[in-house]
Chain A
Amino acid sequence: MSTPDAGLLVALVGNPNTGKSTLFNALTGLRQRVGNYPGVTVARKSGTCDLGDGQKVELVDLPGLYSLAAASPDEQVVIDALSGNIAGDRRPDAVVLVVDSTNLLRNLFLASQVAELGRPVVIVLNQADVAKEQGLRIDTELLSRRLGGVPVVLSSAWKGEGILDVRRAIARAIAQQTQMKRVTWPTNIAAALADVATVAAADTGKPISEAEAQRLLFDTNPSTADRLGWTLAQREKTLRTARDRVRNSGYNPMAAEPLVHYAHLRLILEGVVTEGAGKAGRSAAVDRLLLHRFLGPVLFLGIMLGFFGSVFWLAKFPMEWIQAGVDWTKTIVAPPLDAYPMLQSLLADGIIGGVGAFLVFLPQILILFLFIGILEDSGYMARAAFIMDRLFSWCGLNGKSFVPLLSGFACAIPSLLSTRTIEDPKARLATAFVVPFMSCSARFPVYALMCAAFIGPTYGAGWQSVVMIGMHCVGLLFAVPTAFVLTRLVLKVKPQPFVLELPRYQMPKPRDVIWRMWQNAAEFVSKAGTVIFAITIIVWALSYFPRDASVAERIKAANPSATEEVVKSKLQAAYVEQSYMGRFGKAVQPIFDPLGFDWKITVGVLASFPAREVIVSTLGVTYSVGEGAEADSQHLRQAMQDAKWSEGPRAGTPIFSLAAVLALMVFFALCSQCGPTIATLAQETGGWKWAAGSFVYMTALAWLAGTAVYQVVIRLT
């Protein structure tokens, strides 16, 4: 990767749905780096951009936004980035404002706000092809002149047209320091702004820019004041006086900014756009179908089930290949190490198993993001949110929570990553928090084993299906009240109004979709992947050590006539029993006694905290039927059906009673048994606080619900 020559930084700013990311990809040619802004879960995407004359600059793609009023973390990041207030980031040397050519007025509002920051500016009228189709002619020279001589260029990033012009315009903006014409504030507002700047500068001891003074005066959100360290006590009187002054001049202080900017822009745009003959967009017609009262929801369900089904179904094959590849690698590396069993187990079960543990999520992540990319870039995602919002708004979520929650039934990992599509930080956090309650595919083998071994044989296939379906609903039953309580009582974040643009439908650009899919996967592997790997190694060590040679001798002596295979599985069981994990399991079994779990189940439960599906193979080991046990293994079923309590008040009764089986399934439906989920939750919520909260909450809930089920059912049967 080449680094920028002169260390110049250029920022890309614009409204959502302007093709900004497509332009970014076209300008940087995929020479990109993705990171995070410090302290917030906002991605920082940057790349190297050639200015057409060999000069290279670093181009940073800032989040899409409509206004600089700092109401969301995304917006705050843009303001901070443009003002040079981000640690480790320079103030941009130029700002490229990406504008939708079909809606200049609204798009230039943000441009006009950005002009107040005093950086050299380039205006890119993107999607010029669509404007042309609609019969709009834009006089770019007139617009450039009216805006004070800033470069104004037409482009169509989707078609790759006008990209060179954009490069040259950036070079010109940097060379000539082209400043965009700024709005003229009415006298009283200008005076109020000056007052705020003077007092704030005196109170904080920092220089206050004009743009900062505007944020202080016009925003209800105190984030700018907080960042400057201007306390409520200091600012209260000054701001009230200044706002009164604005009010006395006939403007509502909270409306003055858009009113003045829009009035200014209307004059600038006078005669710039001429409407000729053209085709009206087809979006309205498509919406009449896709948002139809009856057909809309039907088509929505069809699209979503098709989309969700494919994530589940398509990912199955590559996941099996990865699993097969991992197993194959084990068979290759293990035999030469037969003489060193510890090293062999570390390599095969610890390291290769650990890599496999996060690689196996990649197919689902890639496919889910492929679909999300298509849904978002086509414009349908906003419609889906529009259709579903009513179902989610009452419990504090919004229409955009639907996709993450639905895909949570396949796997929580890609689903947590997909909560990034929710702009409202409160709804995003609440959605991420309840996603792990969705009954993911890893819970399926647990239900399948229990139902096949205990429900089916005793109560018939009908009840078996009822229990299977019921288990998939248990999580949902708890998720909804959790979201409700979380958004109403716990989260102090101010909710964002659900104002959502329904953009023009558009054909997604394959390069953009694939590139974003790849970036999400790479971020998952580099961040959550390392944590998942570490957890796997730790759990491997806990169930491997200590390993005493005397155990092997004892087992061999006790079973002199048994076949080698039987001895091997008995030995494995004995090793697990006396490992740290086994000892710990025995020690804490009393905690799980109210759920009807014996120490073997307890060890299984503990061993499956990193990955819940491990329970099946762990039960295989503790019930001495060998490591390779699967949900449909006849031996394992038999061994479990035969298992009886050997001591205590329940001695002689079967361990897997109906009560214990149901309690175990409910416990698995609710418990936070997935290391990758916890790691990803921490990554997506910007710290371990919510991840730890989720772990404690879900595990406690699982214990309580499991206990309730066991205690009620055992008394009824």
Chain B
Amino acid sequence: MTPLSQLLPGQFGKLASLNPERGVDQRLMALGLLPGMVLKLIRKAPLGDPLAIEFGGQVVSLRLAEAENLIVDVAADCPIQRPRQP
């Protein structure tokens, strides 16, 4: 169990839990980021914050501080590491 903010660029994680009381998490849920969803940390901004994550075929940016409630599971049944897109 790792906070999303500690994922390394390129790493996949499966969303274990979020905090639905918070506005950020409500926004992300509306975008389809629900528990069980697999996401990928694509990169951090050049100054280290915010993050760009990919899930459900879209790329979304969110701030480190706003990602603290997103707990991901890096292990186990994450997808087969897809080949890097050309």
Contacts and interface: CB of A to CB of B under 8 A. Distances in A.
Interface string B49-72: 110100011111111001000000
Contacts of A259: 29, 34
Given A66-B30, A106-B31, A499 B62 contact: yes
B56 A105 contact: yes
16 contacts: A102-B57, A252-B20, A258-B32, A259-B34, A281-B85, A287-B43, A291-B52, A293-B46, A385-B61, A386-B50, A387-B46, A390-B47, A497-B66, A498-B62, A499-B60, A502-B61
Nearest to A71: B23
B86 interface: yes
Interface in A492-523: 494, 496-503
Interface string A356-399: 00000000000000000000000000100111011101000000
B57 A254 contact: no
A216 B85 CA distance: 44
A618 interface: no
A294 interface: yes
A500 B29 CA distance: 13
Contact of B30 (A69, A102, A220): A69
A106 to B, nearest CB: 5
A280 interface: yes
B45 A499 contact: no
B21 interface: yes
A494 B24 CA distance: 12
B63 A393 contact: yes
Interface in A287-304: 287, 291-294, 296-297
B8 interface: no
Contact of B62 (A105, A390, A497): A497
Interface in A59-106: 66-67, 69, 71, 102-103, 105-106
Of residues A220, A281, A497, A501, which shows the largest number of chain B Cβ atoms within 10 Å of its Cβ? A497
Contact of B46 (A69, A296, A502): A296
A66 B31 contact: yes
B2 interface: no
Interface in A250-297: 252-255, 258-259, 262, 280-281, 283-285, 287, 291-294, 296-297
A646 to B, nearest CB: 57
Contact of A499 (B20, B21, B24): B24
Of residues A67, A280, A281, which shows the largest number of chain B Cβ atoms within 10 Å of its Cβ? A67
Nearest to A498: B63
Given A220-B26, A255-B29, A293-B46, A500 B61 contact: yes
B48 interface: yes
A109 interface: yes
Contact of A109 (B23, B30, B47): B30
Interface string B26-46: 111111101000000011011
Contacts of A385: 61
Interface residues of A, number: 46
Interface string A30-74: 000000000000000000000000000000000000110101000
A613 B30 CA distance: 50
Given A67-B26, A500-B60, 13 more contacts: A66-B30, A102-B57, A109-B32, A255-B29, A255-B34, A287-B42, A386-B45, A387-B47, A389-B45, A389-B49, A393-B63, A501-B59, A502-B59
Interface string A631-661: 0000000000000000000000000000000
Nearest to A279: B86
A605 B24 CA distance: 48
Contact of A66 (B27, B46, B63, B86): B27
Interface of A: 66-67, 69, 71, 102-103, 105-106, 109, 220, 252-255, 258-259, 262, 280-281, 283-285, 287, 291-294, 296-297, 382, 385-387, 389-391, 393, 494, 496-503
A220 B23 contact: yes
B85 A390 contact: no
B20 A254 contact: yes
Nearest to B22: A497
Nearest to A391: B47
A285 B66 CA distance: 27
Nearest to A495: B23
Nearest to B84: A284
A617 B66 CA distance: 53
Contacts of A105: 32, 56
B20 A255 contact: yes
B61 A499 contact: yes
A69 B26 contact: yes
A104 B47 CA distance: 33
Nearest to A68: B30
A342 B20 CA distance: 69
B86 A280 contact: yes
Given A69-B26, A499-B62, A389 B52 contact: no
A503 B29 CA distance: 18
Contacts of B26: 67, 69, 71, 220, 254
A284 B85 contact: yes
B61 A382 contact: yes
B85 A280 contact: yes
Contacts of A297: 46
A67 B86 contact: no
Contacts of B52: 287, 291, 386, 502
A287 B58 CA distance: 13
B14 to A, nearest CB: 16
A328 B10 CA distance: 63
A163 B69 CA distance: 44
A258 B56 contact: no
Contacts of A294: 46
Contact of B21 (A254, A496, A500): A254
Contact of A258 (B22, B29, B58, B59): B29
B35 to A, nearest CB: 8
A133 to B, nearest CB: 14
Contacts of A501: 31, 58-61
Nearest to B44: A293
A172 to B, nearest CB: 29
